Structure 1
Amino acid sequence: MERLMEWEGPNVPLLAAGTAIVAVALTVQALRQSQDAPRYRKIEQPDTTLPVLGNLVDLVRNAENLHDWVLENTMRFEGRPWKFVVPGQGETMVLSTPDALEEITSTQFKSFPKGPLQNELLGGIAADTLVTADGERWYHQRKTVVKFFSAKVLDMFVRQSIQKNIGRTHAMMEETIKAQQPVNLTDLFHDFTLDTFLEMGLGVDLKSIGATEKHSLHVAMEASSHAIFQRIGRPQWMWKLERWLNVGHEARLKSNVDKVYAGVHEIIQQSIEAMVHKKQSGEDTTNQTCMSVVELFLESPQSGEDGLTQDDFVGFILALVFAARDTTADTLVWLFYSLTKHPEIEKKLRDEMALELSGLSDDNSTYLTAEHLKSLVYLEAVIKETLRLYPAGALTLREAAEDTVICGDIFIRKGQQVMMPQFSVSRNKSVWGPDAAEFRPERWIDEATGKIKPVPPFKFFTFSAGPRICVGMNLAMMELRVVTANLLYRYRFELAGNVDGSSVAGLTLGLKDPLLVTPIAL
């Protein structure tokens, strides 16, 4: 034992020194590895985030003003990425800068499909349709719709469907003026866009404009839109349990969706009967300017699971109807609301119309076509500013299909939800400047040329961007121009009710209060 102690004693300092050297070496190696490892950005969360519950309380409290809550936090984090958590649904990352939006919608498009969650959220209205489908299924549906929204169709659209419904709108306005009653522009614009699209796409005329009662399809669509949006802020288990038990929100949703499907089924049947009658009567369609959605569907490739099948058709039409009706109608409502709040902007718009359209007859039969409106730069600026500040599709969701990194240091794990809130993007001061929240059409006009400034879609994100950019964008812009100009050419409008400018949470961004106005003939 003494020999052992004698042997160990003199070597303790050496052992300690060796240990120290090894420790230092390991530390240096660890530091080098940490320096070489990717450093991801820390993603912030709201201060109200709770253990276990995450942001469930926030979402429940803000169910009716979700867009405002997302905007509030986006502004708090000065436009930087942030995230919120819903139990059972995981983390959702919120992105609102052009570089991040470009990565998600374009550069890494294949890494960010719509995903199964969004398909479930929109189940009943738009599941497995152009809005939510991925892969080949999405490709086939989009290809069919692109054919429908061709230049020839748009020309036919303006010359026939819109012109007829503008005439009906003018007739309704004249009757209202005689009766000295206000007009509900919210109802009018939703009637207008639905009637126009159904006639254009399916050859069916609902004749809703000026009707004494709302068409049942309108009522059911509005209720369904609001109920489906409520799913976003609720844990999946909660609304799925309600759906299984057929109680609460989900019971009301099912009832309204059933009514919507019944209405759309009836309209499709009318369209098919009209098409069959046309063929049986021997009507020559060789030189037909455009084909209805029904005809395009019947000609589209039926490739089983990936393509459109007969069972898909009603859902396909339903998704188009929701998109065509609500998005454009809500934009028109916000536009005319903004003009009532900014009479100086309305005056500039009328001055431009008086100058550029001075050669036209000023009688009541004048109809302004898209060709007439090409020179109206300020009108275009007013429309774009409305679309910027009040994007109809106020948020877009995607899901990461794999672990990936965007913008160099933002890590997104597989299965994580990504929210791109157009409503917040348009008010992001780091993107649009300190006056981002102001309605200022002049921001769109180049002072040097007097023309509209080109703005990339990743900044002006209202129509989304990349391969999934809104397929009906040109149609919407044309309808907005023609409807706005024709109404302002004949009338001015004064608010007839209290409207505070609050929005309502739904599949589209609507004005909460009905826009009641008094029309005054010019």
Structure 2
Amino acid sequence: MDLLSETPQLPLLAGTAIAAFAIHALRPMKDTSGFRELEKPDSTLPVIGNLLDAATRVDDLHDWFLEQSLCFEGRPWKFTVPGQGEKIVVTSPDAIEEVMSTQFENFGKGQFQTDLLSGLFGVAFGTTDGELWYHQRKAAVKFFSAKILDMFMCESIHKGMLRVHSEIESAISKNEEVNLKMLFQDFTLDTFVEMGLGVDLQSVGAKTRHPLHEAIEATSKIVFERFRRPVWLWKLENWMSVGKEGELRRHMSSVYSWMHDVIQQGVEQSIMKKQGGEGPTKQSYKSILELFLDSPEGEAEGFTKDHLVDFILNVVVAATDSTVDTLTWIFYAIHKHPGVEEKLREEMNKAFTGLSAGTYLTMEHLKPLAYLEAVIKETLRLYPTGPLTFREALADTVICGDILVRKGQQVMTPQYAMGRNPAVWGPDAAEFRPERWIDSETGKVKPVSPFKFFSYSAGPRICPGMSLAMMELRIMVANLMHRYRFEMDPSNDGSYMMGVTLLMKQPLRVKAVPISR
């Protein structure tokens, strides 16, 4: 289902326009003398602003942001949607650094975004501000930096890869296609649920999908619909538990019920061990839940069971969606650029001389593969998992020296547009060219400012699981390419579907061809 395929009904548009006119006419004038007046799209209309743009470009809104950003040549600009206020759009690394880092205390997620995303991510460090964000962020950094969690992920990924290979081999034996996107969904959900809760869903190869998978997938779509609906309407439906919001509440109720049961079992087991005089478990790898339960009491201060559920749900959903999307776009991009594929295979063949096609490649094997990392980063540049980022001003402030941002006003960064903008990445910004990441003298990957390469956010809110995510991407891509070549369905045009992340609209159907060594 395409989330934005339905054009808003005429009565709703008319009502919104009337309300916007009333607000516009009654609001007090604010003194903005001395500040820059930002440019706005030529399509902006009186009173309703860019409402028609939002309605007519619902299927390719990211490309609308790209078109406008190109028109303004990297300069900040603004647009308006009635009921959501005037938004400022920035695409320059300097402006992003100011919002995300230099003035971090002046910008947060804000209540608008917290309300929108809480239906999917819960109330956790990815959707909140203030003390709750600080405590959960601190816990996230601690857990994700634990070597014992790295070991857990390595074990889980290896187990999942064996299942993925089994599914592909089965399809080869039957001369059938494989939907890589669905395979990636099952693989990543298994991996990150096991990382978070220590539970193996065994989704890969299962005849029926786990209810958790279906609930998260359906909820993600419903949550994104909130972005194009009046806040009062979806909040009313949520309160009444009707329509799509009623469906969302039912899905999340089942997710929370399942997660509470799993966590309760973990808590009871931990209590029994402590009562029996046992200390923290000494196994070689642990899930986030186990790390939390084994941590000193002071470190868990302020964490309720609900907070823990939201924390782990945030990690699972965010990590699963972003990894699935990136893997899907990587294999699409490699197929569309045969020269890139051959160069990547040359690098792998040189590094893996003497290894059979059946050898499982670990991070130790992949350390010398600079071009592989460049391919992944180039994919993230052009196909960012979070194509739009919002920050809300927590107080009146000034950015870029002369742009006034009022308290409650949103500043947006369209990463999809930014990655394709020549003002940021040069005249070949629209080209898929991994070589841009390689230092010509050292042959290694060049460091790039996180405020320019913004796929994992930047500043104090930079993704704490970035290293684990990159590890999974490297291992998955390398192991699949080491064993197979993929012939892609030519009907796949690479179009995206609007969502919280950058989803490929079509299945990624391929025929796998084994590589003999």
Interval containing the TM-score (normalised by the shorter chain): 0.7 to 0.9
1:516 maps to what in 2? Answer: 509
Q: Which amino acid aligns with 1:383?
A: I
Residue 59 (str. 1) matches residue 54 (str. 2): yes
2:16 maps to what in 1? Answer: none
Native 8 Å contact 2:149 2:286 kept in 1:
no
Length, aligned pairs only = 483
Q: Which amino acid aligns with 1:471?
A: P
Return 5+ residue gaps in structure 2 as ranges: 1-31
Native 8 Å contact 1:67 1:423 kept in 2:
yes
Q: 1:347 Cα shift?
A: 0.9
1:17 maps to what in 2? Answer: none
Say which of 417, 420, 429 aligns to 1:436.
Answer: 429
Native 8 Å contact 1:149 1:472 kept in 2:
yes
2:11 maps to what in 1? Answer: none
Give RMSD over aligned pairs: 2.4
1:191 maps to what in 2? Answer: 186
Q: Which amino acid aligns with 2:111?
A: P
Q: Which amino acid aligns with 1:420?
A: T
Q: Percent identity?
A: 57
Aligned CA distance change for structure 1 residues 285 and 312 (closer, same or farther; 3 Å): closer
Greater shift after overlay, 307-316 or 264-273? 264-273
Say which of 466, 471, 477 aligns to 1:484.
Answer: 477
Q: Which amino acid aligns with 2:323?
A: T
| Cα distance in 2 between the residues matched to 1:72 and 1:242 | 35
1:167 maps to what in 2? Answer: 162
1:293 maps to what in 2? Answer: 288
| Cα distance in 2 between the residues matched to 1:151 and 1:297 | 12
1:399 maps to what in 2? Answer: 392
Q: Which amino acid aligns with 1:167?
A: L
Return 5+ residue gaps in structure 1 as ranges: 1-36
2:498 maps to what in 1? Answer: 505
Q: 1:300 Cα shift?
A: 7.1
Q: 1:291 Cα shift?
A: 4.1
Q: Look up the SS of the partner of 2:119 in the other structure.
A: coil
| Cα distance in 2 between the residues matched to 1:64 and 1:251 | 25
Q: Look up the SS of the partner of 1:375 in the other structure.
A: coil
Q: 1:465 Cα shift?
A: 0.6
2:248 maps to what in 1? Answer: 253
Q: Look up the SS of the partner of 1:123 in the other structure.
A: helix
Say which of 38, 44, 48 aligns to 2:39.
Answer: 44
After TM superposition, list the pairs within 5 Å mapping 1:248-327 onto structure 2: 248-269=243-264, 271-272=266-267, 285-298=280-293, 299=295, 307-327=302-322
1:412 maps to what in 2? Answer: 405
Say which of 192, 204, 209 aligns to 2:204.
Answer: 209
Say which of 118, 141, 144 aligns to 1:146.
Answer: 141
Output the TM-score relative to the length of structure 2: 0.88
Native 8 Å contact 1:352 1:378 kept in 2:
yes
Residue 109 (str. 1) matches residue 104 (str. 2): yes
After TM superposition, list the pairs within 5 Å mapping 1:447-466 onto structure 2: 447-466=440-459
Greater shift after overlay, 135-144 or 307-316? 307-316
Native 8 Å contact 1:141 1:307 kept in 2:
no
Q: 1:118 Cα shift?
A: 0.9
1:362 maps to what in 2? Answer: 356
| Cα distance in 2 between the residues matched to 1:148 and 1:94 | 34
Q: Which amino acid aligns with 2:405?
A: I
Native 8 Å contact 1:127 1:133 kept in 2:
no
Greater shift after overlay, 126-135 or 250-259? 250-259
Say which of 111, 129, 134 aligns to 2:129.
Answer: 134
| Cα distance in 2 between the residues matched to 1:236 and 1:168 | 43
Q: Look up the SS of the partner of 1:227 in the other structure.
A: helix
Native 8 Å contact 1:198 1:204 kept in 2:
yes
Q: Which amino acid aligns with 2:130?
A: G
Native 8 Å contact 1:125 1:315 kept in 2:
no
Aligned CA distance change for structure 1 residues 139 and 291 (closer, same or farther; 3 Å): farther
Q: 1:294 Cα shift?
A: 2.0
Native 8 Å contact 1:265 1:314 kept in 2:
yes
1:23 maps to what in 2? Answer: none
Q: Look up the SS of the partner of 1:52 in the other structure.
A: coil
Greater shift after overlay, 76-85 or 257-266? 257-266
| Cα distance in 1 between the residues matched to 2:265 and 2:167 | 26
2:325 maps to what in 1? Answer: 330
Native 8 Å contact 1:183 1:519 kept in 2:
yes
2:76 maps to what in 1? Answer: 81
Aligned CA distance change for structure 1 residues 388 and 208 (closer, same or farther; 3 Å): same
Greater shift after overlay, 312-321 or 460-469? 312-321
